Structure 1
Amino acid sequence: MLVHRDEQLAHLHWAFHACEKHGHGQVALVTGAVGSGKTQVLETFGEWAAAAGGQVLSAAGSRAEQGLHFGVLGQLLHSARMKPEGLRQVEELIREAALSVPTAEAGTDMAAEVLTEVLTADGLWAPLLRTAFDTFLALARQGPLVLAVDDLQHTDAASLHCLLYVTRRLRNARIMVLLSEATTLRQAHPLFHAELRSLPRFTRVTLPPLTAESVSRLLSARALAHGTGTGTGAGAHAPRGTGAGAREVGEEVRRILRVTGGNPLLTQALVDEQANREKDSAPAGGARAGDTFDRAVLDCLYRHEPGVREVAQALAVLDRPASQELLGQLLDVLPDTTGPAVRVLQGAGLVDSGELRHPRILDAVRSDIPAEERRRLHQRAAEVLHENGAEASVVAEHLVASAWTDGAWVVPVLRDAAAHALSSGRPDHAAACLRLGGQAETDKDRYNSLMAMLITARWQVNPLAVTGQVSQLVEAARDGGTSLSTAVATVPYLLWQGRAEEAAEAISGCGADDHGPAADALRLTRLLIALSHPEYLGTLSENPGSWIRTATAPHAASPQLQAVSVLGHALMPTGGVDTAAAAEQLLERHHLDSGSLGLLTAPLLALLCAGRADRVAVWGEQLLARPGVRHIPAWRGVVRAIHAEATLRLGDLDAAERGARLSLEDLPAPAWGVAVGGPLGTLITCTTESGRLFEAERWLAQPLPAGVFRTPVGAHYLIARGRHHLAMGRHQAARADLHRCGELVRSWGTDVAGLVPWRLELARVQLGLGNRTQAAQLLREQLQVSRGLDDRTQGRALRLLASTAAPDHRRRLLSRAVTVLQSCSDQQELARALSDTGQAFPRAGDSPQPRLFVHRANRVAQSAGRSTALPQQMDRRSTPDDTPPASTPPEPATNPRPRPGPGSGGQPGPAPGADGFEVRDQDSVLSEAERRVAVLAARGRTNRQISNELYITVSTVEQHLTRVYRKLDVKSRTDLPNRLMALAEPMA
């Protein structure tokens, strides 16, 4: 498809008409970059000239046939429409002349001069030239004759001399010589070009790159040909001229120009590739749609000289702008020879601003380089870049790609590059540098230091991959073979694996000055041990008051120590300082730093323990949205787990469960070490509160590593497990877990509500057992332990405390609970508080106030996207004033006889009102087992799925459904939803 060549074709049409009208010969040279459409222009013009009454003789030069004398001339003659006997004489002269010229002397300007001398000496040159010209003249008498020669740069010297002979004699001949030539490193056949430029009727036509308008026309033509509208991609179906459609087509045009630079060959390949992708079919030849553009790039590259291709390969290996000098050193050639090659590539649309234009082009060129040659180029690039003072990270990329370590300077460069990669959030690249450096390092101390850095890098990608290396460094530390920095570096990973004793032992013999980086590193390590395993808090020589001084220091030497100190103060607050503000300052200061996710987890946890789950949710989303977070699975999983717990405390069960699941996808459960209790505890709580109790059982069945319950994460897990036991009606198990949780945090001195509100959960157990006095005491203590008490926990505590209070005091507590819960996003808990408030009012005639509260509770519950078991007893006699409202909607864990939801196995069925299928009236018709099967079948479950969820056989499911169909008078499971809905009790 020829696009944007109307002006150039008009010049050629004018030359043809001048030749036809005035009888004067014309010579036209079409030039342009490889892939600019020269061949298409010649073919299009040839078709037009033939239709206009002319005769077109065509030939094409070839690099492979440059040594074939008179090859192009022979092509021209054989394309003529003339009798065979008319060609016999000139063919015999060509054959004799070709046999007289030494083959080794073809293809150069000197060979052309030698060629003239040889043919003149043999008396063959003049007869051949006259005969060939007479042949062309005879053809021109029938009408204008066009001699079209494509790829002039590859034409053999003998044919060029014949063409020059013809062009000098075109003054009174109706012959148009049309030539095309690609841009090359050096102008091919300079003597021939000098002769052409001296001709009086010579025209040069240059083919420029495509413009935006040209590409738009190409897209429109392609779309019309395929019947898809006016473009491809996003704008393929948008009406032409509409604002949205024009913008989409404009964006597609700009994208194409960014990739191709306006080269027609590359542009058409990209458009075809997109069309093939949209049709979901491979192009001709069985290639994938994504290969079309790559093949076009290589086609374009191989049509240039080898020197141009070598420069393109060097640019692909460097993957950055390069000067002539750098390219010359890399290729071991004179720098002046690389400049023309870069200009040729730029003209072809492959290079822009000294580098390959687009990653697609770079990948295509690089993939074409043989593996051994690519390795050699990377090695040479590393050497050249190092000699020119390039950054360590740049040099290291080529060292890793070449796996070369022979230079004495290599290991220090790799170490510096790894440190930069770690600080930039690229642990994968850091690990590659450190592995290569470890192969070349011979000094034991420096080797151990490299291995400590490698553990840090590999842990961020996969914590399971570092167990062996951590153990090796621990053994080296016991033997006195590691430095302080190496011993300190192993501690976090020992703690992650629950090896607290080994972590303490690793630094037991370490000492440092009171000030300086070494002292800060040692303080940080001891504080990490104590906060992750609070039984070691008593071994610290510092008191919590000193932590906050470190945390709030305006110019801390160690941001890591400052961050962990903030977390320490959140777990053991001393008063007088706003821990949340200190954590926010750290997050504000470092949240944009590359590779800072590990640093920022401590202030995130501090905010959570300070009761600011709302701020944790905001900061967590901001951190997870950073582009570099995809390279750090471990820290990404940790931040997601913290964010999930924050959203749970804000009442958003769906977002919390989704975040916790994603955190376990980032890191599988075995990779979490003792921290696995964090995401598991959040998931257990989410599934429990959603009524999916047996799904929660499956999460509880996940094995826990030894030492989990020596950590604050273990207390978090105990809370979740206790809530689940309560929801399943296992009160004694729930009380045991919650008592143990309380004993742990009190023995550690970390009894803050923001860590685990164990008193509230234990109060719910006491309420379930009917122990209202003990429950009230626990709830009052929970409200008095205000450190880290978030709004949701406070509101829940107030609502539960109201159920133990006298009527007047109950209404005041519920009013406070509603006020507090309105400031958080837990609509379910707010609905319960509103409903309890409505039930707390005594009957006073037809007072509408109680019903208004219940109606508002219903609206809040419906706006939360899930139905709540709200009371429907406003028309009945109210409960006595000295008892709590019997209709107070129970939380899943406060009901001593739970009703688990779908997927919860053989226990009673889904929570009331879960989706409109939980009915009341059919209980008298269906058995409990039949009702559970009917509800699941109405929700679209297959018999096999029902069998798995209820832990019964498929045969039992079929028997239950048979009885359900008979009792409810339905023919199939498709009738069940409407029948169950018809039986359901409507909400007020």
Structure 2
Amino acid sequence: MPLVGRSTELEQWARLRAAATAGAGSVWFITGMAGVGKTSLLRAIRDDATSEGWTVLAATGNPAGGPDQAWGILTRIFVRLATRIPAGSEPFDGPGTSISDLVLGKVVPTSGIPVALTWTIETLAAAGPTLLVIDDAHWGDAASLQAIASAISSLTDQRVVVVIAARAGELPPEFEPLIGRPGTSFSELTALSRPDIAEWLRATDFAKFSEEEVGRVAAVTGGLPLLIAPLVHDPAVMETLLNPDGTPRTPTAPGQLLAIGRQYLAGFPQFLPVLAAVAVLDSFATSANVATVLEIAPHAAAELIAEATRLDLLDGADGVSVAAHPLLAEVVLENADLTAPIYLKAALALGDQASVEQVGAWLIATPAQQDPRVLPLLLSAIERSITFGFERTARELVERARLEPPTSDEDTHRLKILDGKSLVLAGDVEGAVRAWRAAMAGADASQVLDIQMDIGDAYYASGQTELAREAFLDTLAMLEDDSIRLSLGHRRLAIARLAAVAWLVGEGKPLEESEIEAILAQDESLDGLGERALLSHAALELTILGRDAPRAAHLARRAAHNLAIVSEDGIDGPVLSMLTGALNGAECDDEALALMTEALRRARISGSVMAYGTMSYCRAYVHMNRGRLRRARQDAEAALRTHRDYGWGAYLAAAKLVLARVALAQGDLDAAKAAVADLDVYSDAMRSEALPQMMALHAVGLVAQGEGDHERAFEYLRAATEITNEYCPGPTYGLPPLALVRSAVVLGHRELASDVAAQAIERARTFGAPRTLGRTLVMASAAYPQDEAIVLLREGIRLLELHEGRLELGEGRVRLAHHLAELGGDAQVAEAIALARGGIIEAERIGSIPVAQRARTLLADLGERHPTERVNDPVASLTASEVRVCELAAKGMTNRQIAAELYVTVKAVEWHLWRAYPKLGIKSRRDLPLLLSSLVAD
């Protein structure tokens, strides 16, 4: 078929091709009505790009699939590359591994697909100009189209041209925001004019057609190449384009083109089954598979395909057939009686070739069967849809599965469980709980226990911690029933999960020591999720109660070994939160940061709101304890943004507390006030959860102190201290008493301050965590007479110097300097001056303006010239992402290695470095190692 009437579009392609070769990529949207020649134009573009040595990737939407057939377009784009190039090799290295895994049927985190797709295309473009063509995008699956839309918006500075074609008025909504952006263009194909048609006919055999006949062809075809092509071969086709009275049908009118297609295919009844098989099978439409689903001999299928291809009913490449035009596929797919048996046969016979989700899509299109093989296939498809986060598809598959007769008690139970999980995915937690409770009938003890934990996890993930606690209490009741026989792993995991939520609401119960000793006695290689969960709980229990920090550290480190917990329990479960809390409390900073950073990386890939918010706030606490204020603030603000934008709220009070603490330490009272502005510390919701209420009271009390309102601060901090003493007396989490000491001293409650301070110090010494003790000694010193305070401060400073507690270290030096200056001796004043100057350096290094200012004031009172105001540390102006990228670049990693480590695109790394260099006052990455110590320090 000659390509006529498309000179404008071919010139546009030539311009885009030249620009991409020079490094300027583009996106080109082409629309037009069915039959107008979009596919022919795209074929010409692909052929030209291939002849120029470009890498060409292509996929076509399938009317048998549609928006719910997960990853159909992406699979078609990359299937040939993925089967030829192993994962781990370019372009399927780094994040690109997810594309290879996805295409080959593995489960991957779906929200990371856009980054993986961008990485893969960037890699191909780095090797040479690349063309990506998507035809019939209106039939593309929503998951693929969203990923492609996200990826291509960042490819305009790559050697890439993306061409997307769809029917007029049916461009997928995923692409609409891209129209009009720089680097994008839009073309609307129109029907061929009469001169175009004459040129076409002249190029074939114009002698057959008079001028009058050319006009007639133009009238009856509407200028649509789809209809002109068969007329060239067989003028008798003209009759199918006419009404009974001989007038043209006006094929461009709504619905007429399909009607014409039906009439046209009515002349080829013997080919309808093979056309239907090809339409249903799509990318699996090999001759052998067509024979299988039609239950005919292979040679018969091959002959039918060959003859249909000769008649321009089919087309194909690489042994896979396709309808010569999507209209033909649409027509045969209308016939459910014809296609339903094919869908079923494809699902049952081609499961070893097709993905689980493809099999599920085939089965959705079938009526209920009596075949016992169908339900297990549907159950597998439901599980995959849930894993990928496709709630609509999961619900459709569940409803389809309910139509099947039970095949076994196991499958019936499994369907009920998956029904609940799909409802959780859809946001209907109560519906899920109803489904799961119904599944308990007839279930054995182990299954009931699993259901109870699913219920608890669902409530926990949705922020309903009180209901989660009740669910886990029901689990515990089962564990205490000696008549119920459960595996040791089941028992340990259930106890640990109950404990995680119970501590959150202030109802924690200590574990039996024998449980832990039994785990410690076994080889560490035998530890599984249940063991790690119990070790995490035991370590957290020790830190909360303030008992034996070295043992807590030992248990927590064993639980965190090789970061296995992240894979075993995922990043959304309560065990991870328990373990990070234990590591933090036991001062295992390196292990805690490694675990949290890996969890955050996975949260970015998977899109987990729960994990991202929780791990951001947890990491903020570690940075705060170390005195790395800027990083602590960045993480705390990230957690609160997750709350604001996505509704995360599991540890909202804790995140607000850490942000308030950081902001006050930096002298930013307005930010601290904003952090606690909406905390209703005596609401019913707060009263029901002891630890969140304690943290909320602590936060508003600190802000009141910052405002100078010590009476109000005393009220809040005393209430927080009472909760602390009852539920978490350990010094790691028992910070309200130390804050209470300050307001009590200011208000003249010396006896109370002394009692609270003495108890805090005793608890810190008993616990045995050096940084915690150092912090306690510094903060509690305010309640003691000067001579005792000096002794406490010297001990605290020594501990904080050795165990990185920079905020309290600076505070301790300035407090000690004040006391020594008041003593007035020459030696004491000299030491006070040295301490004040050291305090200024430490405070300014971490950004603690109030501490630095108090030290400057002291020096001025002593008549000393103090250091000139420090110029703002350039590192302070970097965003969290810029810091991460610069750290890795300073270690000598390439941009590509950094991108793979952080699971971002190479372009994102380049962008962060480009923004960071001016802030740091450098011109290239060669200067970064000189700043590495500063970056690592903060």
TM-score range, shorter chain: 0.5 to 0.7
Q: Which amino acid aligns with 2:849?
A: S
- C-alpha distance in 2 between matches for 1:374 and 1:814: 86
C-alpha displacement of 1:801:
3.2
Residue 454 (structure 2) aligns with = 489
Aligned pair partner of 2:466 in 493, 498, 508: 498
Q: Distance in 2 between matches of 1:387 and 1:530?
A: 48
User: Of the candidates 579, 591, 607, which is equivalent to residue 566 of structure 2?
Assistant: 591
Check whether the contact 2:449–2:475 (CA below 8 A) recurs between aligned residues: no
With over 3 angstroms needed to count, the CA separation of the structure-2 counterparts of 1:380 and 1:269, relative to structure 1, is farther
Aligned partners of 2:816 and 2:633: how far apart in 1? 27
Q: Deviations over 1:553-581 (max 9, x none)?
A: 53558514532442234214775561221
1:532 matches 2:501: yes
**1:634 alignment counterpart:** 610
* 1:568 is the counterpart of 2:538: yes
Partner residue in 1 for 2:777: 798
Bigger relative CO (Cα 8 Å, ≥ 6 apart): 2
| Amino acid of the structure 1 residue aligned with 2:374 | V
1:465 counterpart = 2:428:
yes
Q: Does 1:659 align with 2:563?
A: no
Q: Displacement of 1:863 after TM fit?
A: 3.6
Alignment check: 8 A CA contact 1:517 1:557 kept: no
Q: Which residue of 1 aligns with 2:130?
A: 256
SS at structure 2 position matched to 1:570: helix
Given that 2:559 and 2:579 are in contact with CA atoms closer than 8 Å, whether structure 1 keeps it comes out as: yes
Aligned equivalent of 2:378? 414
Which residue is equivalent to 1:387? 349
Measure the CA separation in 2 of the matches of 1:539 and 1:802: 32
User: 1:60-139 to 2 correspondence within 5 Å?
Assistant: none
Please list the CA deviations of residues 498-556 of structure 1 after superposition, one character each: whole Å capped at 9, or x if unmatched. Answer: 13446535764677779975564355334433442259999979614414534775355
Where 2:731 maps in the other structure, the secondary structure is coil
2:538, 2:555 within 8 Å by CA — same for their partners in 1?
no
CA, structure 1 residues 279+796, in 2 after alignment: closer, same or farther (shift >3 Å)? Answer: same
Shift of 1:743: 4.5
Larger Rg computed on CA atoms: 1
Structure 2 counterpart of 1:601, from 577, 580, 589: 577
CA spacing shift, 1:800–1:257, aligned 2, 3 Å: same
Specify which of 732, 735, 746 is matched with residue 754 of structure 1: 732
After superposition, residues 472-483 of structure 1 pair within 5 angstroms as 473-474=436-437, 483=448
Instruction: Identify which of 134, 158, 182 aligns with 1:278.
Output: 182
Of residues 647, 652, 660, the one that matches 1:668 is 647
Deviation of 1:620 after TM superposition, in Å, equals 1.6
Q: How far 1:622 moved relative to its partner? A: 1.6
Task: Tell me the distance in 2 between the aligned counterparts of 1:389 and 1:742.
Answer: 62
1:696 partner letter:
A
Contact 1:414 1:433 in 2 (8 A): yes
2:806 is aligned with 1:841? no
Name the CA distance, whole Å, in 2 between partners of 1:395 and 1:611: 49
1:563 partner amino acid: A
Q: 1:278 is aligned with what amino acid? A: P
Counterparts in 2 of 1:551 and 1:533: CA distance versus 1, 3 Å: farther
Selected match of 2:846 from 864, 889, 907: 864
Cα deviation, 1:690-736, whole Å, max 9, x if unaligned, reads 41244134231499664764454444444334434444555565445
> For residue 50 of structure 2, what is the amino acid of its counterpart?
P
Number of the residue aligned with 1:624: 600
Question: Matches of 1:655 and 1:379 in 2, distance apart?
Answer: 58
Give CA-to-partner distance per residue, 1:821-846, whole Å, 9 cap, x none. 45677755444334334434335569
1:766 aligns with 2:766: no
Distance in 2, Cα, partners of 1:379 & 1:685 = 66
Counterpart-to-counterpart distance in 2, 1:698 and 1:382: 59
1:298-447 equivalences under 5 Å are 324-326=287-289, 328-329=291-292, 380=342, 383-390=345-352, 393-394=356-357, 397-398=360-361, 402=365, 406=369, 407-419=371-383, 433-434=397-398, 436-437=400-401, 440=404
- Deviation, structure 1 residue 849: 5.0
- Structure 2 distance, partners of 1:366, 1:760, is 76
Which residue number corresponds to residue 189 of structure 1? none
CA distance in 2, matches of 1:434, 1:532: 31
Q: 1:213 to 1:546 in 2, by over 3 A?
A: closer
Decide whether aligned partners of structure 1 residues 281 and 426 sit closer, same or farther in structure 2, where only a CA change above 3 A counts.
closer
Worse overlay, 654-663 or 525-534: 525-534
Cα deviation code 1:608-633 (max 9, x no counterpart): 33333553333222222127743433
Residue 312 and residue 372 in structure 1: after superposition, are their counterparts in 2 closer, same or farther (change >3 A)?
closer
The residue identity in structure 1 corresponding to 2:456 is V
Q: CA deviation at 1:421?
A: 6.5
Alpha-carbon distance, 1:666 to partner: 6.5
Q: Summarize the alignment of residues 30-49 of structure 1 with structure 2, pairs less than 5 Å apart.
A: none
Per the alignment, do residues 485 and 619 of structure 1 end up closer, same or farther by CA in structure 2, a change over 3 Å counting? closer
Question: Matched residue of 2:853: which SS?
Answer: coil
Instruction: With the length of structure 2 as denominator, give the TM-score of the two structures.
Output: 0.53
- 1:251 to 1:744, Cα distance in 2 relative to 1, 3 A: same
The structure richer in helix per residue is 2
Deviation at 1:388, TM superposition (A): 4.0
**Shift, 1:466, TM fit:** 0.4
Compared with structure 1, are the counterparts of its residues 629 and 805 closer, same or farther at alpha carbon in structure 2 (3 Å cutoff)?
A: same
Contact 1:551/1:562 (8 A) holds in 2: no
- Output the CA distance in 2 between the equivalents of 1:804 and 1:614: 33
> What do the CA deviations read for 1:578-622 (whole angstroms, capped 9, x no partner)?
12212321x522435694542533322332333335533332222
- Displacement after TM superposition at 1:256 (Å): 0.8
Seen in structure 2, the aligned counterparts of structure 1 residues 873 and 727 have a Cα distance that, compared at 3 Å, is closer
State how far apart, in whole Å, the 1-side matches of 2:722 and 2:297 are: 78
> Structure 2 CA distance, aligned partners of 1:683 and 1:589?
30
Aligned partner letter, 2:538 = G
User: Residue type of the partner of 2:760?
Assistant: Q
Separation (CA, whole Å) in 1 of partners of 2:514 and 2:228: 72
- Aligned to 1:753, the other structure's residue is in SS state coil
Is 1:763–1:779's contact at 8 Å kept on the other side of the alignment?
yes
- What is the TM-score with the length of structure 1 in the denominator? 0.50
Could you say which residue in structure 2 is the equivalent of 1:67? none
| Deviations 1:162-220, CA, capped at 9 Å, x for gaps | xxxxxxxxxxxxxxxxxxxx99xxxxxxxxxxxxxxxxxxxxxx9993244899xxxxx
After TM superposition, give the deviation of residue 850 of structure 1 in Å: 3.8
The separation in 1 between residues aligned to 2:729 and 2:392, in whole angstroms, is: 39
Separation in 2, partners of 1:476, 1:678: 36
SS in 1 for 2:51: coil
Q: Distance in 1 between matches of 2:470 and 2:10?
A: 78
Residues 425 and 595 of structure 1 are in contact (CA less than 8 Å); yes or no, is this contact kept in structure 2? no
- Cα deviation per residue 1:108-162 (whole Å; 9 max; x = unaligned)? xxxxxxxxxxxxxxxxxxxxxxxxxxxxxxxxxxxxxxxxxxxxxx9xxxxxxxx
Q: Structure 1: where are the runs of 5+ without partners?
A: 1-30, 45-153, 155-181, 184-205, 216-246, 262-266, 288-297, 345-349, 880-886, 888-912, 916-988
Residue 827 to residue 524, structure 1, CA distance change in 2 (3 Å): closer
